[in-house]
Amino acid sequence: MFGSLRKLSLDNLCFRSPSDVGALLDTCAALESLSLDGCGFSDPSAVLAIDAPRSQLKVLHLEGLLAARVHLIQAPRLVGLACSDWASTSCPVTFDPGSAPSLQEITLDNWADTWQLSFTLSELLENAHHLQNIFLAFGNGKVIDLISNCGMFLRQLAFGRC
């Protein structure tokens, strides 16, 4: 029924488990763009793992995600990732080596609260080697060691103000 759906936006939805998102990606085989705004899990310490090797997903937009973090295992066609206003205590997104070989652009936007931990940008980008554009907007000094050890060529690095 949803096999030809190309774009999906979900707002304020509570999933029972992270595997529900995997089932969604499997069911919507043609899905190219997924936006989760204010969504999360009944267990806020859950990790949203994206393991979609056959997925057509190109754009993933996460705003106000209520999860410990997002872990990209396999998303071979993913080109753009935007993550803003996350509730995790540290780095909001992690990548397995080779998990997103097409990823070209990341947007991170967050006004960190005092309980959130600092993290290095190199920690985030350690396995994201094909990036061309990065947009960062942070507050409260929660990203440290900004460019150290990134080891990549960027066409554009932009900074916003929170």
**What average pLDDT score do residues 89-118 get?**
78
Q: How many C-beta atoms surround the C-beta of residue 83 within 10 A? A: 22
1, part of any domain: no
Range of the domain at 114: 7-159
- DSSP 8-state assignment for residue 100: -
58, part of any domain: yes
Mean pLDDT of the chain: 80
- In total, the chain counts a number of residues equal to 162
99, part of any domain: yes
118, part of any domain: yes
**What average pLDDT score do residues 75-84 get?**
93
Q: Report pLDDT for 90.
A: 67
The pLDDT-based confidence of 148 (bands split at 50, 70, 90) is very low
95, part of any domain: yes
**What average pLDDT score do residues 84-94 get?**
76
Please report, rounded to a whole number, the percentage of residues in the chain having pLDDT higher than 90: 34
Q: Report pLDDT for 156.
A: 47
Residue type for 116, please?
A: Q
51-55, 104-108, 141-145 — which is least confidently predicted? 141-145
Q: H or E stretch including 123? A: helix 121-125
**What average pLDDT score do residues 24-46 get?**
91
148 vs 52: which has the higher pLDDT: 52
The CA distances from residue 57 to 114, 139, 145, in Å, are 34, 30, 31
- What CATH number does residue 60 fall under? 3.80.10
Separation of first and last alpha carbons in the chain: 41
13-17, 90-94, 99-103 — which is least confidently predicted? 90-94
34-38, 51-55, 71-75, 117-121 — which is least confidently predicted? 117-121
- DSSP 8-state assignment for residue 66: B
Q: Are 66 and 40 in contact (CB under 8 A)?
A: yes
Number of domains in the chain: 1
31, part of any domain: yes
30, part of any domain: yes
